[in-house]
Amino acid sequence: MKRRLSRECAFKALFMIDLGNNNDESALNYLLKDTGLSERERSFCTKLVKGVLSKEKELDEILSRHLVNWQFDRLATAVRSILRLALYEMLYCDEIPPLVSINEAIELTKKYHDNDAARFVNGVLDKIRRIRADEV
């Protein structure tokens, strides 16, 4: 399964929704139109987008608590969307190891932002992962 492409599609939809206040169904339909993703991959993308949107407030609160010298709403839209997506996977997609979610977030950040932001994303998500591991 091409989960990386599904994640990238989900990221793009979340970015469109956050940046332009686009309707989630419209953004998803637009992005899924010519992706070449299988039905299963399209379903995974849709699950991620709808999941992030349904838990957005909770995700933002968790992420905000783990930022040092940053305000969540001041982050670049791409970084904000990637953090939400990865944290959603870490909290609600038990079949995906947290380190995979973090690695995928780093790769998306490198592709759509820069290496400094990728290090930032890694630091925030890994801090949350370690805290969650200690709680178990």
52-110 pLDDT, tens per residue? 999 999 999 999 999 988 899 899 999 999 999 999 999 999 999 999 999 999 999 99
What mean pLDDT, rounded, does the chain reach? 93
Written in H, E and C, the secondary structure of the chain is CCHHHHHHHHHHHHHHHHHHCCCHHHHHHHHHCCCCCCHHHHHHHHHHHHHHHHCHHHHHHHHHHCCCCCCHHHCCHHHHHHHHHHHHHHHHCCCCCHHHHHHHHHHHHHHHCCHHHHHHHHHHHHHHHHHHHHHC
pLDDT(1) > 60 = no
Predicted local distance difference test score (pLDDT) of residue 116: 95
Question: Hey, where are the domains in the chain?
Answer: 3-135
pTM above 0.85, yes or no: yes
Q: Which CATH class, in words, describes the domain spanning 3-135?
A: mainly alpha
Predicted local distance difference test score (pLDDT) of residue 107: 97
Q: How far apart are CA 93 and CA 97, in angstroms?
A: 8
